Amino acid sequence: MTETTQNRTPDSRPTGGLSAQYQPGEVEQRRYETWVTEGYFTADPASDKPAFSIVIPPPNVTGSLHVGHALDHTIQDTLSRLKRMQGFEVLWLPGMDHAGIATQNVVERQLAAQQLSRHDLGREDFVRKVWDWKAESGGAILGQMRRLGDSVDWSRERFTMDEGLSRAVQTIFKRLYDDELIYRANRIINWCPRCLTALSDIEVEHTDDEGELVSIRYGEGDNSIVVATTRAETMLGDTAVAVHPDDERYKHLVGTEIELPLTGRRIPIVADEHVDPSFGTGAVKVTPAHDPNDFEIGQRHDLPSITMMDERAVVTVHGPFEGLDRYEARPAIVAALREEGRIVAEKRPYVHSVGHCSRCKTTVEPRLSLQWFVNTGPLAKKAGDAVRDGRVTIEPAELSKRYFAWVDNMHDWCISRQLWWGHRIPVWYGPDGETVCVGPDEEPPAGYTQDEDVLDTWFSSALWPFSTMGWPEQTAELAKFYPTSVLVTGYDILFFWVARMMMFGLYAMDDVQPFNVVNLHGMVRDGHGKKMSKSFGNVVDPLDWIDRYGADATRFTLARGANPGSDVPISEEWCQGSRNFCNKLWNATRFAMMNGATVEGELPPVDELSAIDKWILSRLQHVIGEVDEQFKAYEYAKVCDTLYHFAWDDVCDWYLELSKPVLASGNAEASKRVLGHVLDQLLRLLHPVIPFVTEELWIALTGGETLVKAQWPAAEKELIDDSAEEELAALQKVVTEVRRFRSDQGLKPSQRVSAALTGLGNVGIDTHEPLIRSLARLDKPGPEFTATATLAVSGAITVDLDTRGTIDVAAERARLEKDRAAAEKEAAQCRGKLGNESFIGKAPEQVVAKIKDRLATAEADLARIAAALEALPTA
């Protein structure tokens, strides 16, 4: 770096243009714009480098960056930046999902504010309005991704409703249809009376809600039978009562008919093995048009299906309840039954699992409906086989059980939605009932009408790994980057998305899997392990943290909690700590540059280096090896922890302090070069996780172009020096013990104490005595020296200290006794919780681990306090 490119501080020492303090807001946008403008993130399919590719789990076009996105993107960006530095041609492909239900809801709410509905506009004008909304207001998350530092290839940004992706949807629908893997049928589906559309099983969120369990007597006298239900209104659609064929209580009734109350209809009593005779009365009402299990019973016994509610959950059965909403009809029917003496028992509140639309939270209504389905059987089998035979690896491996539990028991997938926004089903109907599936290069027959429904949003998302690269065309991107290397996503959408991509990828791409590794992470929780919820008031807005602490601090906090498959606890306090870590790096690098740290020239020969320089180089090689192994195992938390402690403890707290006397001398060229090398390598190691501060520091230190393209460090075994590490460990032990004693005795850091050091030669550190005295603030003994306290350090080293006049013994003893009482109380509380089996069984792993850490800290404090009390002078 030339003199003209460096700023000068008042004392004329170079800082490489670094300000006195790190200001993330002054660095992040500037650096990110440079990265994008220079094309550092643009993938080249013609490159001869090995390929590494990730497709981003496409966020909803309606979405904004929440803390789950921030975790997911931090991990993906970390991997992408790592692989670029390791010499791979990296494609991290961005994009968004059209989010059929959510987006339509947004635009419909805007229309409602104008007292309009989509039907007032008509289909074409409504869809046009949604596109206008997308252009004006959709995709805010893309700008937020830039703020987080996502190193995606923006030139390949995709949207699930783009022309190319729409062509892919039509192509695979046609192929599946022709292979009889897509069909249309009347089935029980999940129906949202608010969104007026079918939902797949995984678009339904189940919660424990309070309701009412009503037991109703059907029939009279010995021929009566009691059934229980939480949905009394559905009795209007009952077409049978079912009992178990081996239930002796009801054998005399099987095959007879019974009158359905309030209707005058007679319905049969059937025997079906689905019924659990030990549950309730052992008899169940059968409503084939409004319950999936009842539908199956109805199919087996050829029962009629009576639809008793319309698409808005309003009763349609002729009679006194016609026109009532389901929640109005329920109490009205119970009251009518009670009046007739039909209510045998009522239990309220009755807590039971209730399904809700994942988009609008309306209670879902099972409903018989004519819909389109994917026959998932053969597709799901292949998706399971790909993991079983090792073509696809799930990390962590224990989550494979969840995957198999889903794909091995998958129901056919309802893919039609009664919406206007989405990929319209490419099926056309003729005037005489003809049905034609039309491919992307075909025209429908004249006079035919297209199906009104659109496809489930997850249908197009299932094609994402290959449709975004140009499929069904055989593109250079597909040839280079498919199958993708890693899919990073939360375990919560293992079923929503991962399994479906597996099914469609293997089907469309000739049994080639869509990704080689599925890296699953957990949900972000607060620092106490509690689920984030607005009602709890513990939701974190990552953009707020970025504003206050910087993108790097936010990323480091998330990554440092990311253990494979486990939920990720975070807190603002931890983010503040991550900001302090970034500041520590900044100050350390600035100090090093002011003291001549350099990357110019080769490292000096090892035999010309001091033990201190040999030690830090040896530690660096260990850290490089550890980080490489941790990245291979997707252990992001361990990567962060390893680098944090190396940077903060080894480099800043020890190496810089140990080097200060050398740097201040006139013979420090070797140490300056070692210091420059260590910082250069450390910044490279940290760059994938905290890219902004490391980029700014590295360019200032090295004068290089960018860390994005810098080479990843490689461990050099010849620099590992066990003897230097042992020597410095002994030195650190002495200094640490003295500092701990000083702290325990309440001595100010600047207060010097006379001390005699013996036994340093026993561990080969006698030459470091001046350095030990400097770091521990110890003066040499004078003629009036009297040892009032003695520290025994491992390795037969003894430190005798003269503490006369420096300690108020009585006050210090009282302080330590108070600390001991507090530590004993903390230890007792922790032992109590850890000994509580109920607590251990229910608490998240992170919370239990934190309590174990608290106990270990308390026990260490007790040992330390006991030693300090023993070391106090007696007079």
Binding residues for ATP: 534
Using alpha carbons, select from 858, 852, 853 the residue that is nearest to residue 825. 858
3-state SS assignment for residue 800 = strand
Are 168 and 107 in contact by the 8 Å Cβ rule? The answer is no
CA distance linking residue 757 with residue 769, whole number of Å: 8
Using alpha carbons, select from 586, 691, 668 the residue that is nearest to residue 16. 586
CA distance linking residue 267 with residue 272, whole number of Å: 15
Give the residues across from 394 on adjacent strands: 518
Are 408 and 384 in contact by the 8 Å Cβ rule? The answer is yes
CA distance linking residue 127 with residue 120, whole number of Å: 12
3-state SS assignment for residue 705 = coil
SS (H, E, C) 524-560: EEECCCCECCCCCCCCCCHHHHHHHHCHHHHHHHHHH
Q: Is the sign of the CA dihedral 115, 117, 121, 124 positive or negative?
A: positive
Give the residues across from 90 on adjacent strands: 52
3-state SS assignment for residue 183 = strand
Q: What are phi and psi of 155, to 5 degrees?
A: -70, -15
Q: Is the sign of the CA dihedral 413, 416, 419, 423 positive or negative?
A: positive
Are 456 and 415 in contact by the 8 Å Cβ rule? The answer is yes
The token duo for 712 is 């990843």
Q: What are phi and psi of 358, to 5 degrees?
A: -65, -20
Are 680 and 698 in contact by the 8 Å Cβ rule? The answer is yes
Are 202 and 187 in contact by the 8 Å Cβ rule? The answer is no
C-alpha separations of 454 from 261, 458, 534, 847 in Å: 40, 12, 33, 45
Residues annotated in the binding site, as ranges?
534
CA 511 from centre of chain: 29
Start-to-end CA span in the chain (Å): 61
3-state SS assignment for residue 752 = coil
According to DSSP, residue 314 is labeled: B
CA distance linking residue 254 with residue 241, whole number of Å: 9
CA distance linking residue 300 with residue 292, whole number of Å: 13
CA distance linking residue 129 with residue 107, whole number of Å: 8
Are 668 and 61 in contact by the 8 Å Cβ rule? The answer is no
Residues 6+ positions from 152 with CB-CB distance below 8 Å: 41, 56, 80, 92, 93, 94, 145
Using alpha carbons, select from 543, 558, 688 the residue that is nearest to residue 71. 558
3-state SS assignment for residue 762 = helix
Question: DSSP labels for 369-430?
Answer: EEEEEE--HHHHHHHHHHHHTTSSEEESGGGHHHHHHHHTTPPPEE-EES-SSS-B--EEE-
Give the relative orientation of helices 140-148 and 551-560 as an angle to the nearest 10 degrees.
Answer: 80
Q: Is the sign of the CA dihedral 42, 47, 49, 54 positive or negative?
A: positive
Q: For strand 753-758 and strand 797-802, is the pairing parallel, antiparallel, or unpaired? A: antiparallel
Q: What are phi and psi of 524, to 5 degrees?
A: -80, 130
CA distance linking residue 621 with residue 681, whole number of Å: 10
According to DSSP, residue 601 is labeled: S
Residues 6+ positions from 782 with CB-CB distance below 8 Å: 754
Q: For strand 51-55 and strand 89-93, is the pairing parallel, antiparallel, or unpaired? A: parallel
